[in-house]
Amino acid sequence: MDIFNNILYGFQVVLEPVNLGFCFVGVFFGTLVGVLPGLGPAAAIVLLLPATFKLSPIPAIIMLAGIYYGGMYGGSTTSILVNIPGEAASVVTCLDGYEMARKGRAGAALGISAIGSFFAGTISIIILSIAAPALATIALKFGPPEFFSLILMGLIILTYMARGSLIKALIMALLGLFLSQIGMDTVSGRYRFTLGMLRLSDGIDIVPMVMGLFGIAEILSNLEKDAKREVIKTKFKELFPNLDEWRRSVGAIVRGTFVGFILGVIPGGGAIISSFISYGVEKRVSKHPEKFGTGMIEGVAGPESANNAATGGCFVPLLSLGIPANVMMALFYAALLIHGIQPSPFLISQRPDLFWGVICSMYIGNIMLLILNLPLIPLWVQILKVPYKTLFPLIFLFCVIGSYTINNSVFEVFVMIFFGILGYLFKKLGYEPAPLVMAFVMGTMMEKAFRRSLSMSDGSFLIFLNRPISAVCIGFALLLLVTSFIFYYKYYGKKRESLIDG
Amino acid sequence: MRKYNLITGIIWLVLAILIFFESLNLGLGTLYFPGPGFLPVLTSIFLGIFSILLILESMIKKGKKEESVVIWVPEIRWKKILFSLSFLIIYALSLEKLGYLLSTFLFMLFLFKFIEPQKWSVAVFGSIVAVLLSYIVFGVLLQSQLPVGVIGKIFHL
């Protein structure tokens, strides 16, 4: 009954007033950024990361996690009421959620997405608390070759899952690797690619980089659009779905939960893709697939459950292997490092307070979110009315403060502006920043594992193929790369895009 | 999009070549003990290969029809982006000289007033609130070291 003791211990940690307080702050901010279009959870986490520097790691990670899964709750509100996704994982919720709202069933749509989110969130945390320690025990036996191959496989799956051109995604991943190599080489002590700038000797900091790529770039492309929002007026008396809607939603929620969790664990998966896949699954199992897009509650319940389950799922590889599965987890990886914790298979045994505390905070956070998102919906609707022209100067300001306070230097602000411009151009030219960020975060560890492996094997590359786990990973990565290139050239880009979109 | 793919492809190729030669300078080391330039060289080789693929792809598809992609927005919107970026750069440059309070106030005022124009009263009020609130949260509560600048020095803050 080890796990029960551990969970009990976790609750002891999270019920300390400080931790409980930051859990609330996290889910509150999460819902807020989820509700506000134009500010995703990735940007929000980086924005608040510098604010956690002074905190101890447990409340800091609890709060950042709260922002992530809180964002998934909030995102549906905007999708349903305004037909603009509050964040990317709620794009599909627009399809049927908004139609439901137009038919006067906004309350039911909001209600089912909060309830589905709660169910999926809770189930995924339960699986997480069982799976992560088990996986970590296996991973303790991994050596440098296994880690190198795992990371390589992860990066390749991630680029494969990226939208749009495969070549561009691979280029982005390689650029990320290159960026991670800037600064002092830890083995030889030599400076690499610093262009003579002393500031670059420690390498590029992830915070201004991600703030630029996700924060500044996002504002710039929003400034292009004329954002006019019309909030559907609804009475919020009826937040509970009726009996028929319940009956139709139960299956969708359960299916969404499992689809979401599994896709969360897979590299490059996560909340966004799982919501799309879940929508596809619902459409396929439905007896009336033609009615999707006209306000089917299954099309809301499934994806909204899936994106929440995914948030639990993607913590599994991070907390058990020390390898992030997607960009959001890469940010958590960076956050843990900033707080002096190296994510690895040893994390659970060395910092049980952190692991179990964060897990249990998610149980509590989900309950808080249910309360925040059902009775308090009218409050969020008010916030939706804050116009973007009031909002964007503040986001700019937060980005500047955040990047300045990392080292108290303007240099980081310029790094942020540089990546902001780059990110804006990437967006325009069809380059997705996710593979770049992932490769950047994993680059250092990958290089270390690579060099250690070669030292172990006296310089033979066969070490990556002689060890079964490593060989399977490399083999799978190669297979994926080869087949996707064949697929890519056979049915060129457009079809691939429509496959993912559909 | 094809034209832009060609341009970016060439940029990546040039970058790959630069990284390649710089990495050779750093030293490859041996297979037994890979040096600082080892992985960068591999990175640059693959980057080179994929950028060539991108370039080839954009040239080969020339014959096929392609729906035109509207990449650049009308002039007015363009200006907003350029102005915001310039304000941002000027703000970053003046942050340490003018100090947090003054430079932030001016930055906020410009953004509120000139990017998506609001009334003067709203812009001034909004800027003051933004400066004070952010100062209280970051400067006082979180004890971040925000630059004091000229004004701070005069008042010995």
pLDDT per position as a tens digit, A281-322: 999 898 888 888 888 999 999 999 999 999 999 999 999 999
Closest residue to A223, CB basis, from B4, B81, B142: B81
- Mean pLDDT for the stretch of residues B80-107: 91
Which of the pair, A2 or B121, is modelled with greater confidence?
A: B121
Chain B: closest CA distance from residue A436 (Å): 13
Stretches in chain A below the pLDDT threshold 70: 1, 226-230, 233-239, 488-502
pLDDT band at B70 (very low <50, low <70, confident <90, very high): low
* Inter-residue contact B103 to B90 (CB < 8 Å): no
Q: What is the ipTM of this complex?
A: 0.91
Give A400's contacts in chain B (Cβ within 8 Å). Answer: 88, 91-92, 95
Using a CB-CB cut-off of 8 Å, the residues of chain A touching B72 are: 428
Determine the average pLDDT of the residues in B59-79.
65
pLDDT at B149: 76
For residue B34, list its beta bridge partners. Answer: B29
Whether the CB of A50 is below 8 Å from some CB of chain B: the reply is yes
The DSSP secondary-structure symbol of A267 reads T
Give yes or no for residue B63 having a pLDDT over 60: no
Q: Residue A459: helix, strand or coil by DSSP? A: coil
Q: Do B115 and A401 touch (CB under 8 A)?
A: no
Does any CB of chain B come closer than 8 Å to the CB of residue A494?
Answer: no
pLDDT in tens, A136-162: 988 888 999 999 999 999 888 888 877
CB A100 within 8 A of CB A110: no
Paired tokens of B15: 């970058």
Residues 64-123 of B with CB under 8 A from A: 71-73, 77, 80-81, 84-85, 88-89, 91-93, 95-96, 104, 107-108, 111-112, 115-116, 118
Helical axes A468-490 vs A144-161, angle rounded to 10°: 20
Query: Which H or E element spans position A122?
Result: helix A106-139
Nearest to B84 among A171, A220, A429 (CB): A220
